[in-house]
Structure 1
Amino acid sequence: MTTFLGRHSEADDHIAQLRWLGHDVRVVSGGGDKAGVLEAFASGLDLPDWFGHNWDALLDALRDLDGARGVPIELVWDHAATLREQDRDAYDTVVEILEQVADERDDLHVTVVTR
């Protein structure tokens, strides 16, 4: 399941609520182009050295993202508006990857914040 929050939503309250519920909240911030968003995911999620900074590698890394057993992972991509405005194709690709991984994994939920 993917949650989309807009520029005027209460994103910080949403993130605080997820943490209060005991979710493993992981926040990735920004990215203005393909290279920038891939770097944001690599650093924000502390992806392994084998991460190849391409779409396929992002999909594989998210599929392998480890969390504590029984604790849902909430992946929050914050400040996604810049990429959406500057490179809509790259934004759509990231959203597609996030949704695919969320559909494949019962323990991972995604929030996209376009502020």
Structure 2
Amino acid sequence: MTTFLGRHSEPDDHIEQLRWLGHDVRVVSGGTDKVSVLEAFATGLDLPDWFGRNWDALLDALRDLDPSRDGPIELVWDHAGALREHDRESYDTVVDILEQAAEERDDLLVTVVTR
């Protein structure tokens, strides 16, 4: 399941609520083009050295993401609005990848914040 929050929502409150519920919250921030968004995911998720910084590698990395707790992983892609405005194709691709990974995993939930 993917939750979308717009720029006028309260994403910080949403993140705190997820933590309170016991979710393993992982925040990835920003990206204005394909290169910078892949770097944001690599950094934000502390992806392994084999991460190839391409769309297929992102999906593979999300499939292999290890939970650090017993609760579900909540991946929050924050500040996604800049990519949506400047490179809609890449934004749509990232959303598709996040949704595919969430569909394949019972323990992965996704929130996209377009502020």
**TM interval, short-chain normalised:** over 0.9
Corresponding residue for residue 10 of structure 1: 10
> What is the percentage of aligned positions where both structures have the same residue?
83
Residue equivalent to 1:49:
49
* 1:39 is the counterpart of 2:53: no
Residue type at the aligned position of 1:31: G
Residues matched between the structures, number: 115
- Structure 1 unaligned blocks of 5 or more: none
* Deviation >6 Å, runs of 4+: none
Structure 2: which 5+ residue stretches go unaligned?
none
Question: What is the rounded CA distance, in whole Å, between the counterparts of 1:74 and 1:43 in structure 2?
Answer: 16
TM-score, normalised to structure 1, is 0.98
C-alpha distance in structure 2 between counterparts of 1:104 and 1:41, whole Å:
19
In the superposition, the TM-score normalised over structure 2's length comes to: 0.98
Superimposed CA distance per residue, residues 3-45 of structure 1 (whole angstroms, 9 cap, x where no aligned partner):
0000000100000000011100000000000000000000000
Secondary structure at the residue paired with 1:91? helix
Once the 2 structures are TM-superposed, how far is the Cα of residue 71 of structure 1 from its aligned partner? 1.4
